[in-house]
């Protein structure tokens, strides 16, 4: 596990985008061997997506041979609804890059058989060779995707009822009208994300500070599902200074010290295009 601490949201977004860019370039994807990337939605990854669009437009990278799997989608919200995660991804990312639409996978919250849709999604991930890098964000209660507190840490893609705190947090996207916020979603499971070769979790803002504390300073706990990634062999938690407010000073100094040493040796952000 690695904690990467940047000064602010913009720098955290840039670090994450460069990490993704460099991983794709190093992989050397082709028509026969696509790079498979797991992606989140929400306000936290927005800056990262904007930087990736910049890298594509400047010719630094291509998404032609990248296959993506999104974490989740609301149940019952039309795909064309401005707050569906399908709309979010196309409006904020996919339509600005050269990804093949057939390679951009988002769960269908309007499928006739939701459980069959979830099983098929897991099968598609398997057929794609698994996820090389799964990027995620978290809620203030430490949930990743829609794996709410109390979720199984070995869960797979499934239908999930949303917690009241999540509905309240997402109301801002629905005119602060709680009655308009969907109460159910399809989500990849904690186990689904744990199967990825690498995981990168973006955590920014003071309102996520207690969740970051629970994620790395306390033990694995299904009430804070993000804590499961302490046990993943290759997890990067990427955060800004505000998100570290609940961490012990010793913890912050320890990880900043590791960053300093690592940057002198070989920083993935400074590799390939930046050297």
Look at strands 184-187 and 158-161 and give their pairing: antiparallel
DSSP structural state of residue 10 = H
| Catalytic site residue from 122, 141, 240, 242 | 141
Q: Tens digit of pLDDT for each residue in 110-132? A: 999 999 999 999 999 999 999 99
Q: Tens digit of pLDDT for each residue in 208-230? A: 999 999 999 999 999 999 999 99
Buried residues in 199-232 as b, exposed as e (16+ CB within 10 A): bbbbbbbeebbbbbbbbbeeeebbebbbbbbbeb
pLDDT at 263 exceeding the cut of 90: no
The mean pLDDT of 86-91, rounded to a whole number, is: 98
Of the candidates 171, 168, 56, 188, which has an alpha carbon nearest to the alpha carbon of residue 121? 188
Q: Tens digit of pLDDT for each residue in 128-173? A: 999 999 999 999 999 999 999 999 999 999 999 999 989 998 999 9
- Tell me if residue 108 is catalytic: no
69, 23, 254, 237 alpha-carbon torsion, rounded to 10°: -10
pLDDT at 272 exceeding the cut of 90: no
Q: Tens digit of pLDDT for each residue in 23-52? A: 999 999 999 999 999 999 999 999 999 999
The pLDDT > 90 percentage for the chain reads 92
The mean pLDDT of 57-85, rounded to a whole number, is: 98
| Catalytic site residue from 132, 143, 232, 242 | 143
- Tell me if residue 198 is catalytic: no
**pLDDT value, residue 267:** 53
**pLDDT value, residue 260:** 81
pLDDT at 101 exceeding the cut of 80: yes
pLDDT at 273 exceeding the cut of 70: no
Question: Which residues, in sequence order, are bridge partners of residue 238?
Answer: 4, 202
**pLDDT value, residue 81:** 97
The pLDDT > 70 percentage for the chain reads 96
DSSP structural state of residue 18 = H
- Tell me if residue 26 is catalytic: no
**pLDDT value, residue 83:** 96
**pLDDT value, residue 147:** 97
The mean pLDDT of 181-203, rounded to a whole number, is: 98
The correct CATH number of 2-265 out of 3.40.640.10, 3.30.450.20, 3.40.50.1360, 3.40.50.720 is 3.40.50.1360
Name the pTM for this structure. 0.94
**pLDDT value, residue 265:** 61
**pLDDT value, residue 261:** 80
**pLDDT value, residue 224:** 98
Residue spans of the domains in the chain: they are 2-265
**pLDDT value, residue 271:** 45
The mean pLDDT of 175-204, rounded to a whole number, is: 97
- Tell me if residue 132 is catalytic: no
The answer to whether residues 103 and 68 touch, using CB atoms and an 8 Å cutoff, is yes
Determine the distance from the C-alpha atom of residue 37 to the mean position of all C-alpha atoms in its chain, rounded to a whole number.
10
**pLDDT value, residue 275:** 32
**pLDDT value, residue 270:** 46
Burial-class residue 15 by CB neighbours within 10 Å (0-12, 13-18, 19+). buried
| Catalytic site residue from 72, 73, 122, 240 | 72
| Catalytic site residue from 148, 195, 240, 242 | 148
Tell me what the pLDDT averaged over the chain comes to: 95
């Amino acid at each position: 596990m690695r904690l990467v601490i940047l000064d602010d949201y913009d720098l955290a977004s840039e670090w994450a985008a460069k990490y993704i860019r460099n991983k794709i370039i190093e992989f050397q994807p082709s028509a026969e061997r696509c790079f498979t990337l797991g992606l989140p939605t929400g306000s936290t990854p927005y800056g990262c997506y904007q930087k990736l669009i910049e890298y594509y437009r400047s010719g630094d990278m291509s998404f032609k041979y990248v296959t993506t799997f999104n974490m989740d989608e609301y149940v019952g919200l039309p795909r064309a609804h401005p707050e569906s995660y399908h709309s979010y991804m196309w409006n904020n990312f996919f339509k600005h890059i050269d990804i093949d639409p057939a390679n951009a996978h988002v769960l269908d919250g309007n499928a006739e058989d939701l459980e069959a849709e979830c099983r098929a999604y897991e099968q598609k991930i398997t057929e794609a060779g698994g996820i090389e890098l799964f990027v995620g964000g978290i809620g203030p209660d430490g949930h990743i995707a829609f794996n709410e507190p109390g979720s199984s840490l070995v869960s797979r893609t499934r239908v999930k009822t949303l917690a009241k705190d999540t509905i309240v947090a997402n109301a801002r996207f629905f005119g602060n009208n709680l009655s308009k916020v969907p109460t159910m979603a399809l989500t990849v499971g904690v186990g689904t994300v744990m199967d990825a070769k690498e995981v990168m979790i973006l955590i920014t803002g003071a309102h996520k500070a207690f969740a970051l504390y629970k994620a790395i300073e306390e033990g694995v706990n299904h009430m804070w599902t993000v804590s499961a990634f302490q046990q993943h062999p290759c997890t990067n938690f990427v955060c800004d200074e505000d998100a570290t407010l609940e961490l012990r000073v010793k913890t912050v100094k320890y990880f900043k010290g590791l960053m300093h040493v690592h940057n002198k040796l070989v920083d993935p952000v400074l590799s390939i295009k930046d050297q």
